[in-house]
């Protein structure tokens, strides 16, 4: 017995047209070959190009990440250096401030010592002037006392010279030297 689908009547009974089926299979094969050729010729290269661009994009992204990490490291190092430089500048400023303060103190000390020395000199000059005035008054008093004792007028110049000689020979009570 022959299977039913091989019999011409059996295939026709199913509603299948064998020459039409063969023509459709040949058309399908031609379309399959044509589409595979078109895909290989146009679509696959486009897809390969797109795949290549995607891979390049991913690679560029990875490179960008690496550059970003490297840049962040460089920025951190630069910030560290900037902080160190800033700290150095602050330290230098503090040292300069200390030096300026010390110089100001020294200048103030020197000024005060000069003022004290000038005051001492002025005191010495005033003391000497007072001693000179006292000598002069003492000489006048001595002449006046001598005139009263002798009751006559003495030559003031001669007595002044005698008194100066006596004062020059006598030690001074204030520890200073005898001056005119």
Q: pLDDT at position 180, please?
A: 45
pLDDT of residue 84: 95
Average pLDDT over residues 94-106: 94
Residue 151, Ramachandran bin (φ over 0: left; ψ between -120 and 50: alpha; else beta): left
Question: Please, which residues have CB within 8 angstroms of residue 127's CB and are 6 or more apart in sequence?
Answer: 174, 176
> pLDDT category, 167, cuts 50, 70, 90?
confident
Q: How far is C-alpha 44 from the geometric centre of its chain's CA atoms?
A: 62
Q: What is the pLDDT of residues 103-119, one digit of tens each?
A: 999 999 999 999 999 99
pLDDT at 177 over 70: no
Task: Give, as one character, the DSSP assignment of residue 179.
Answer: -
How many other C-beta atoms are found inside a 10 Å radius of the C-beta of residue 100?
10
Q: If you average pLDDT over residues 20-36, what whole number do you get?
A: 94
The pLDDT assigned to 176 comes to 46
What is the residue-wise DSSP string for 128-175?
Answer: HHHHHHHHHHHHHHHHHHHHHHHTSPPPHHHHHHHHHHHHHHSPPSSS
Q: Of 77 and 142, which is predicted with more confidence? A: 77
């Amino acid at each position: 017995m022959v299977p039913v689908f091989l019999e011409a009547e059996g295939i026709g009974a199913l509603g299948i047209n064998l020459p039409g089926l063969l023509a459709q299979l040949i058309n399908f094969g031609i379309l399959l070959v044509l589409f595979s050729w078109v895909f290989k010729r146009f679509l696959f290269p486009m897809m390969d190009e797109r795949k290549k661009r995607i891979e390049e994009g991913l690679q560029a992204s990875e490179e960008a990440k690496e550059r970003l990490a490297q840049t962040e490291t460089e920025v951190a190092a630069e910030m560290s250096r900037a902080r160190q430089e800033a700290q150095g500048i602050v330290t230098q400023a503090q040292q300069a401030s200390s030096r300026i303060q010390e110089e100001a103190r020294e200048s103030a000390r020197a000024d005060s010592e000069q003022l004290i020395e000038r005051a001492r000199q002025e005191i010495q000059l005033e003391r000497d002037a007072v001693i000179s005035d006292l000598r002069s008054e003492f000489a006048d008093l001595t002449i006046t006392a001598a005139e009263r004792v002798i009751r006559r007028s003495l030559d003031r110049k001669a007595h002044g010279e005698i008194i100066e000689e006596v004062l020059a020979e006598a030690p001074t009570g204030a520890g200073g030297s005898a001056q005119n």
